[in-house]
Structure 1
Amino acid sequence: MRFLLLSSFLLFTFTGHAASVWKVTNGDNTVYIGGTLHLLSPDDFPLPDAYAQAYNAATKLVFETDIAGLNSPAFQQDTLKHLTYQDGTRLNDVLSNDTYKALADHLSSRHLSIDNFAHYTPALISVTLSVVELRNLGLTSQGVDEFYYFQAMMDNKQLDWFESPQQQLAFIKSLGDGDDDQIIRYALEDVLQIKDSIGELKDYWRSGNMAGMEQSSMQEFEASFPKVFNTLLTQRNQNWLPMLTGMLSTPETEFVLVGTMHLAGAKSVLSLLEKRGYSVQQLN
């Protein structure tokens, strides 16, 4: 899924003078909001100065979810429980013969055997395909969120998050909207485009060009999977809004780090805040 791809890698080719960081104000109260993707290559550091500016100004960091919880053994067990078949069902039971063969051929081209994924659900397969491709392209380092999570731990800054790891697991489980063949076919097409499109997408992130990101990826995603788009982006943006407006009613300064696609388009977090009268300014 394009959402998973865009939330999985960070961009390194700097273009323009802005960045994917915004300052939102309500009178004297301030919240910084930065776009993040969850895998980086070593060459992606240092990050744009706007991230350090927001981090240094903040006393609290707010993430999509509890990063420590994501890395816990308990969450890994929950992932296997909810994203693998527990009743003896196998992947070839839910996919058409043509789709199963296409998936097997793709995995084989990456020196992987489909037999090792026999009990994965299509949702987990789609995530796995993306991660394998990104790592093959050299994106092997921690992302912006983990980078600042560990920095905040060392600096004794406060930490918070919007969703529990279990809630995020439920979102992944919902991928495909019941059409197992479609999600695998789309994922297979998508990963083959990463190598050719990664430079452009990295430019959009690094320069904070949300209009370009929306046009190049999000519009197709919403058209192909409107229900999933609503679940993963639109509804979650709405769910986060009360917490964000609460932050803007207190003098404490927060730095919020969420997937970059949550910051693009008319249904984005930034647009929702602007519509409620808050001042939104992109940092240079």
Structure 2
Amino acid sequence: MMMGLWIIRRVAVLAVLLFLAPRLQADPVWEVSKEGKRIWLGATVHFLRPADLPPPTAMQQAYKDADQLYLESNLAESATPAFSRRLTQMMMQPDGRTLKKDLSDPVWGQLQDYAAQANFPLATYQSFKPAMVAMAMTVHELGRQGFGRGVDEYYFTRASEQGKSMGFLESSDTLLSFMAQLNEESGDALIESSLEGIEHMDGMMEQAVNAWREGDLDGLYILLGADEMESEYPAIYRNLIIDRNRQWYPKIQQAMTEGTPSLVLVGALHLGGPDSLLVMFEDAGYKVEPFNAGTEQGNQ
């Protein structure tokens, strides 16, 4: 299970359950259209290696053709000191309590072993709740394996530099509310699932990046364990995938209605599986097909 990865990356990604051939072996961008209006939906991976960039040709071309870029949230807003303070306060233990008290002796021992082996600064996190430690471990391990900024940051930076208009599907408050829910989960389960995910991360990340570049989001949905999350952590799955897709859907519809050529980038898990945005648009009678960039290079 990849709980830590789900939390941080939402990579998304992020279903074989649907066996929909149009979702396979294509760049991770789709054109959604109806009654002469269209919009491009692209799948993002929140952590990539430098060699994985730039994104696939179709995404580069869609970005070049778009007059407006939509992202899940404003990355500048979530990088502010104010956001960091709110997150820290939410993830801090009550006075007098430590991380060790939230974990069983066996899980605490596993965490210590990982910290020693991976040079993870466990002492820094003694005053934090397990959810924060699970996420920090995942990010630490991704960094050790050479993964850094992903598609969202790549295009946020590019659009900022080029003065391209940007819109956002949710505020930083949405992310904080999800983090608050994680604090209600078992500390042992969060740490154990993160340790298990870290153990298999190297090969899994390689497969995940390849699946993303090929547009195989249904396969990625299974690879990242979203089907397991749905069955074993239904409240988190509903909050992370279903509820947010339902909140984003009318905003994307509105952007399409306005007629401005737009590229909407969301985590890959929001475009794969039975509850995806692509399924929602298909069910509503929209035409959904892979975006074909042809032979033209976007070079953006």
TM over 0.5: yes
The partner residue of 1:221 within 229, 233, 238 is: 229
Structure 2: distance between partners of 1:85 and 1:176: 10
Structure 1: distance between partners of 2:44 and 2:96: 37
Q: Trace 1:19-38 onto structure 2 (pairs within 5 A).
A: 19-38=27-46
Residue 244 of structure 1: how far off its partner (Å) = 1.3
Aligned match of 1:82: 90
Query: Is this contact kept in 1: 2:98–2:126, CA < 8 A?
Result: yes
Aligned match of 2:60: 52
Aligned match of 1:70: 78
Aligned match of 1:134: 142
Structure 2: distance between partners of 1:147 and 1:176: 30
Q: Trace 1:91-130 onto structure 2 (pairs within 5 A).
A: 91-130=99-138
Aligned match of 2:216: 209
Deviations 1:209-238 (A, max 9, x none): 022112222112222211111111111111
Q: 1:43 to 1:63 in 2, by over 3 A?
A: same
Structure 1: distance between partners of 2:263 and 2:76: 18
Residue 166 of structure 1: how far off its partner (Å) = 2.3
Query: Is this contact kept in 2: 1:123–1:173, CA < 8 A?
Result: no
Structure 1: distance between partners of 2:217 and 2:282: 15
Q: Secondary structure at the match of 2:127?
A: coil
The more displaced of 117-126 and 167-176 is 167-176
Look up the equivalent residue of 2:133 and give its one-letter code: I
Q: Indicate whether 1:41 and 2:17 are aligned.
A: no
Q: Secondary structure at the match of 1:249?
A: helix
Structure 1: distance between partners of 2:115 and 2:274: 37
Structure 1: distance between partners of 2:13 and 2:68: 23
Aligned match of 2:154: 147
Q: Indicate whether 1:185 and 2:188 are aligned.
A: no
Aligned match of 1:4: 7
Q: Secondary structure at the match of 1:31?
A: strand
Query: Is this contact kept in 1: 2:62–2:263, CA < 8 A?
Result: yes
Q: 1:139 to 1:9 in 2, by over 3 A?
A: farther
Residue 28 of structure 1: how far off its partner (Å) = 2.0
Query: Is this contact kept in 2: 1:176–1:183, CA < 8 A?
Result: no
Residue 131 of structure 1: how far off its partner (Å) = 0.5
Look up the equivalent residue of 2:117 and give its one-letter code: S
Residue 196 of structure 1: how far off its partner (Å) = 2.4
Residue 274 of structure 1: how far off its partner (Å) = 0.9
Identity %: 29
Structure 1: distance between partners of 2:234 and 2:184: 10
Structure 2: distance between partners of 1:282 and 1:8: 19
Structure 1: distance between partners of 2:161 and 2:116: 42
Residue 83 of structure 1: how far off its partner (Å) = 1.5
Deviations 1:108-157 (A, max 9, x none): 111134222101211111111111111111113x2111111121122222
| Unaligned 5+ runs, structure 2 | 15-23, 293-300
Q: 1:17 to 1:50 in 2, by over 3 A?
A: same
| Unaligned 5+ runs, structure 1 | none
Q: Indicate whether 1:277 and 2:273 are aligned.
A: no
Query: Is this contact kept in 1: 2:13–2:43, CA < 8 A?
Result: no
Q: How many residues align?
A: 279
The more displaced of 257-266 and 77-86 is 77-86
Aligned match of 2:260: 252
The partner residue of 1:268 within 265, 270, 276 is: 276
Q: Secondary structure at the match of 1:127?
A: helix
Query: Is this contact kept in 1: 2:74–2:168, CA < 8 A?
Result: yes
Query: Is this contact kept in 1: 2:129–2:183, CA < 8 A?
Result: no
Q: 1:251 to 1:94 in 2, by over 3 A?
A: same
